[in-house]
Structure formats: structure tokens, C-alpha cells
Amino acid sequence: MTPWVPDCLLSWDVDIGQQALFDGAFQKLLAFTGGDLRLVYVIFLTVAHSLPTILINGTHYLIRLVLGDAALEPYRWQAGRQPPPALVRKCIMYVGAAHILSPLLPYSMFPRAYGYHPHLFSAPVPGILTLLLQYVVAFLFTDGIFYWTHRLLHTPMLYRWIHKQHHQFYVTIGLAAEYAHPIELLFGNVLPVFFASVVFRYHIAAFSSWVFIAMAGTTFHHSGFFFPLAPSDEFHDFHHSHVVCNFGSSPMWDWLCGTDKQWQDKRRGGSVVKVVQQSNTDVAGPAVLPPLSLGTAAVVAVPRGRAARSPSPAKSSAARRKRSTSRK
């Protein structure tokens, strides 16, 4: 029973087999763990966290292996650009280690979570309409908390010490979704996704399925590609390629707070404000919390379809000699 779900919705709710599916999985896990609810909790959340990462990135790799990179190039948001191989290898090792260690979080959470919600497993699995409502509520909280924590991470100090790691990827891959400082992973990624499920006492089936949906979404958004029927979007890819604006997981909060100006300019075909980057591992992080300025980051207006170009050393030297001669 979910207290905050309207009775009129509950009276129309339907079971299309989700209760039987959960009961079967729950009984098998109980037998596997010897009746240890803590381990069952850990398995539900760990599978929900890791399975989308494995399935989506594994499928992407197999497509590249079979068809080759050239076949996927028309679907790349930033055509002709790929992240450095060394960074990709580093990301695979880092994210792999994070997934190995990830069960420690639900394991440590369980005593308090179960004390706060003793019917985490025993309550009936929500009907489809209730599940959809819970997903909407979870999305709204995830989107809002992610927007404000992400925007905070773009202040100069937090960017330099924490968020800069994630922005080493200007051209993203699916695994880059979790290539972030441990503090960012906890407060910028886990907290937004877990918040509504824990606070509003979601059933473990609703909680774990929402984690699965959220993980699939962020993996697609960082994939760097757009595929038919896949929830990938250029909105967050633009944030990585330009390191400005588009701080939400959806455009809603950026539109409300006016932090999507450069994105809207780009869509209208105007100039694009872009942070000048020194290298793939040395990025100047802009402060983006109004009324703060852009700090020390160098910003240039780049007309759409034309790269910003600096004068060559030879031309600069010739210009200096010419000015010096004219003064004499």
C-alpha cells in the first residue's frame, strides 16, 4: 500500500503479472541467500545498477565489432570525433572497479532502509498505474536534484577538484556516465536517483526497476550516438562538447532557470559559446551559478559550422616585426 497514491487510482490499478514475476524472483533469491533479506536487497539493487550498463554498452560494442565504426558514424552526434583510446581504457578500468564495489552501498543502507520501511518486500507489488505514477515522481525528484547538484559542481572550486574528471570526455561513451569522482557519484548520481524511492517508501520492485530505468537513460545519453527508438539526445552531448549550459537530465530545469541560452542559440543556427580547452585532461571549469561570472575560463563565440582559429606563430611573428618597423 502506498499512502500518497490516490484511492481513485488504486481502484483502477491493474496487475499484468508483475506480482507473480516478483514473487518468483523473490523466492528464488531467498533460497539462494538462505533467507537473508539484506543480501536479497543488495542483489536487487546491484543487478538494477549493473545490468543496463552491461547490456547497452555490450550491445554497442558488438555492433561496432560486426559492422565496424564506419557503419555507426552517421549516427554519431559529433561526427568524425572519438575520445582518446587511453582515456577509454582508463574509463573501463575505473567504471569496472566502481561496479565491483557498488554492492557495498546497498549493504550499508539496508538496516536503516528496512527499519524505515519494514514492508519493503512484504507489501503487494504496485499495479501498473501506481508504478507509472511512482516513476513520474521519481523522475521529477531525480531531475531536480541532479540539476542543482550538477550546477553546483560547475562552480570553479568544485569543478576543479571533483567534476573535472567527468568532463575529460568531450566526446562521450556510455561508460562515461559513471566516470566521475566518488563524491560526485554519491551525491550527484546516487542521491538524485535513490531519493524518492527511499523517502516515499517504494516497494523493492518499484525501487530497483526505477534504478534500472535511470541507469539505462544516463547510459544512452552519454553514448554519443542517436539510434532509432533509443532515448539518446543531443542535449547532454552538447553539455560535454561545450562545457556550458544544459545541466539537467532533461531540458525542464534549464528552461525554467534560463541556463540553456547557448543550446537555444545553437538550435537557432546562431553563435555557440564554447569553453576553450587546453587538452583532453586539462579543462578550465566555468562558474555558471548566476550572478557569478565565468571565472577564469576563456570563452569565445564560435559561429555554427566554423571552428575558432588562432593565428599561426609565423603570422604572429611577421605581424610583430611589421609593427616594430613601422614605429622606427
CB burial of 17-28 (b: ≥16 within 10 Å; e: otherwise) equals ebeeebeeebee
CB neighbour class for 154 (10 Å; exposed up to 12, middle 13-18, buried from 19): buried
Cell triple for residue 41?
536487497
CB neighbour class for 44 (10 Å; exposed up to 12, middle 13-18, buried from 19): buried
Average pLDDT for 24-39: 96
Write the pLDDT tens digit of every residue in 148-198: 999 999 999 999 999 999 999 999 999 999 999 999 999 999 999 999 999
Best CA proximity match to 196, nearest among 131, 242, 264 = 131
Cell triple for residue 231?
532515448
CB neighbour class for 14 (10 Å; exposed up to 12, middle 13-18, buried from 19): exposed
* Residue 15 confidence (pLDDT): 84
User: Is 26's pLDDT higher than 70?
Assistant: yes
Write the pLDDT tens digit of every residue in 75-124: 888 888 889 999 999 999 999 999 999 999 999 999 999 999 999 999 99
Question: Whole-model pTM?
Answer: 0.80
Please give the distance of CA 64 from its chain centroid, rounded to a whole number: 23
Cell triple for residue 9?
487510482
pLDDT category, 8, cuts 50, 70, 90?
low
Report the 10 Å Cβ neighbour count for 162. 19
Best CA proximity match to 179, nearest among 164, 194, 191 = 164
pLDDT category, 1, cuts 50, 70, 90?
very low
- The structural domains of the chain, with segments of one domain joined by +, span 15-240
Q: Is the peptide bond before 228 cis (omega within 30 degrees of 0)?
A: no
Please list, in sequence order, all residues whose beta carbon lies within 8 angstroms of the beta carbon of residue 106, skipping any fewer than 6 positions away. 41, 42, 45, 46
Best CA proximity match to 288, nearest among 267, 261, 256, 251 = 261
The residues with which 279 forms a beta bridge, in sequence order, are 282
pLDDT category, 7, cuts 50, 70, 90?
low
CB burial of 281-301 (b: ≥16 within 10 Å; e: otherwise) equals eebbbbbbeeeeebbebebee
Number of helices (H) and strands (E) in the chain: give both, helices first: 15, 2
User: Is 320's pLDDT higher than 60?
Assistant: no
The C-alpha atoms of residue 102 and residue 219 are separated, in whole angstroms, by 17
Please list, in sequence order, all residues whose beta carbon lies within 8 angstroms of the beta carbon of residue 269, skipping any fewer than 6 positions away. 304
The C-alpha atoms of residue 148 and residue 253 are separated, in whole angstroms, by 9
Q: What is the residue type of 48?
A: A
The C-alpha atoms of residue 148 and residue 244 are separated, in whole angstroms, by 14
Write the pLDDT tens digit of every residue in 242-280: 888 899 999 999 999 999 988 888 878 755 444 433 333
User: Is 312's pLDDT higher than 70?
Assistant: no
